Chain A
Amino acid sequence: MIVRLMGEGQFEIDDEVAKGLNDLDEQAAQAVEAGDEERLSELLRRMAEAVRTNGARVPDEHLDASEAIVPPDDLSLDEARRLFEDEGLIPDLPAAS
């Protein structure tokens, strides 16, 4: 499947890697819930590392959507809240008016 590391690009990973990624992702969500920034950074780093090491980089010209999107590995707790709770971290996409 194709996953995107935000800020970096898309990678093709196999099911085994995807499974490991899901486990880490669950823990990362718990870290956000618990307000544990250190744990969140560690988990996001491990997720990104797993994808980079075991995945194949998909060229930028490729235009398929990703099945999963991994937040940036240096996302702070505050940014995580802005990203997930009020969708404020990603600016609204500019529409031509």
Chain B
Amino acid sequence: MAGLMSRASMVVKAKFSKLLDHAEDPAETLDYSYERQLELLQNVKRGIADVVTAKKRLELQETQLQQSVVKLDTQARQALAANREDLARQALERKSGLQQQLQGLDQQAQQLEQEKLVTSEKALSAKVEAFRTQKETIKAQYSAAEAQVRIGEAATGIGEQMADTGLAIQRAKDKTDQMQARASAIDELTTSGALEDFTSDQTELDRQLGAIASQSQVDDELAKMKAEVGSGDKQKELQQ
């Protein structure tokens, strides 16, 4: 059985000879191929931009979740201080739920490997640019008539370049498509409300804790007033 290297060479050569069979004017074909590479590269770039946006949105949601977790922790403490273990339990249960969501989001964010996409896109841009130079070299080396009949070593070399660039672009596109699909799945999840609405700032817990807080504030003020009124009475008594 043939090794992978020779099989890869065969595939590349087959692609190139298929191209030559159809190409009437090699120079034109090279130019066209370059234009096509640029076009595909633009598609990949747009795809990456979408993934980057999705990742930012996800990170924003994570930050909001983290803030909610901190807030719930504080609320649990406040509730305990007010001897309301039931409320404290509610807060902690909610916190634990949010932490699970946070973990899920984190995993999903990690799967959006936009840095990798950006790195491979840069390598790809460099490849396409190199191809531009190479095709000009080839075009300068052969007159159109010559190129029709003489497919020399250099032409095979550029065929290899074209196949290699084609493969690199195809794979970058596949990966970007996958990431985009993931990103939109996450988007759907959040917009359909499958994730708990952690951004609402007035929860039942907030209201109850608020009630406790205002009750104790009323109690405090009342006690303070009583003390003032009481001491006022005493002063009156002294004056008389």
Contacts and interface: CB of A to CB of B under 8 A. Distances in A.
Q: Is the interface of A mostly helix, strand, loop or mixed?
A: loop
Nearest to A74: B171
Contacts of B130: 60-61
A61 B134 CA distance: 6
B41 interface: no
Contacts of B16: 93
Nearest to A24: B3
Interface in B112-129: 123, 127
Given A6-B8, A61-B137, A69-B5, A87 B14 contact: yes
Contacts, number: 128
A21 B168 CA distance: 22
B1 A95 contact: no
Q: Is the interface of B mostly helix, strand, loop or mixed?
A: helix
Nearest to B21: A95
Interface residues of B, number: 49
A64 B157 contact: yes
Interface residues of A, number: 40
A25 to B, nearest CB: 4
Contact of A92 (B3, B15, B28, B138): B15
B89 to A, nearest CB: 46
Interface of B: 1-9, 11-12, 14-16, 18-19, 22-23, 25, 28-29, 31-33, 36, 123, 127, 130, 133-134, 137-138, 153-154, 156-164, 166-171
Given A69-B160, A92-B15, 4 more contacts: A83-B8, A90-B170, A92-B19, A94-B32
